[in-house]
Amino acid sequence: MQPMALRVFFSLLALTLFGACTAPGPDPLACDSSALATALSQSIRAKDQSGFEANFARSTVGQRLAKQWFNNLTELNDVSFAALPGGDKLKVTWSVEGSRQPSVHTIAPRMVRVGERTLIMELFDAENPPIWIYGQITVSNNKVGTLIASERVSDDQAKVWVKRMAAAVVAIQKVKMGDLNADWNQQLVVELPRDTHEYQRLVNMDPVISSAATECESGAIRIVINPASLEVPDQVGEALMLHEAVHASTSSPCLDTGALWASEGLAEWVTASQYKSTATSNQTIVETYLVRHGVPASLPVDAAFAGDKDDVAAAYALSQFAVQVAVDKLGEEEALAVVGKLSRSKDGAAPEMLSDLTSWYQAALKKLSK
Ligand SMILES: [Zn+2]
> From the CA of 22, how far away is ligand 1's center (Å)?
45
> From the CA of 104, how far away is ligand 1's center (Å)?
23
Torsion angle (degrees, nearest 10) of CA 357, 358, 364, 366? -170
Task: Give the pLDDT score at 214.
Answer: 97
Task: Give the pLDDT score at 71.
Answer: 97
The per-residue pLDDT for range 31-45, each reduced to its tens digit, is 899 999 999 999 999
> From the CA of 366, how far away is ligand 1's center (Å)?
26
Domain locations along the chain:
6-127, 134-254, 256-370
If one looks up domain 134-254 in CATH, what number appears? Answer: 3.30.2010.30
pTM exceeds cut of 0.85 = yes
> From the CA of 170, how far away is ligand 1's center (Å)?
19
Three-state secondary structure call for residue 360:
helix
> From the CA of 8, how far away is ligand 1's center (Å)?
56
Torsion angle (degrees, nearest 10) of CA 159, 160, 161, 163? 90
> From the CA of 252, how far away is ligand 1's center (Å)?
9
> From the CA of 248, how far away is ligand 1's center (Å)?
10
Task: Give the pLDDT score at 14.
Answer: 41
> From the CA of 266, how far away is ligand 1's center (Å)?
9
Sorted by sequence, the CB contacts under 8 Å of residue 29 that are 6+ apart come out as 11, 14, 15, 21, 22, 113
Ranges of residues in the chain with a pLDDT under 70 are 1-20, 22-26, 28
If one looks up domain 6-127 in CATH, what number appears? Answer: 3.10.450
> From the CA of 213, how far away is ligand 1's center (Å)?
7
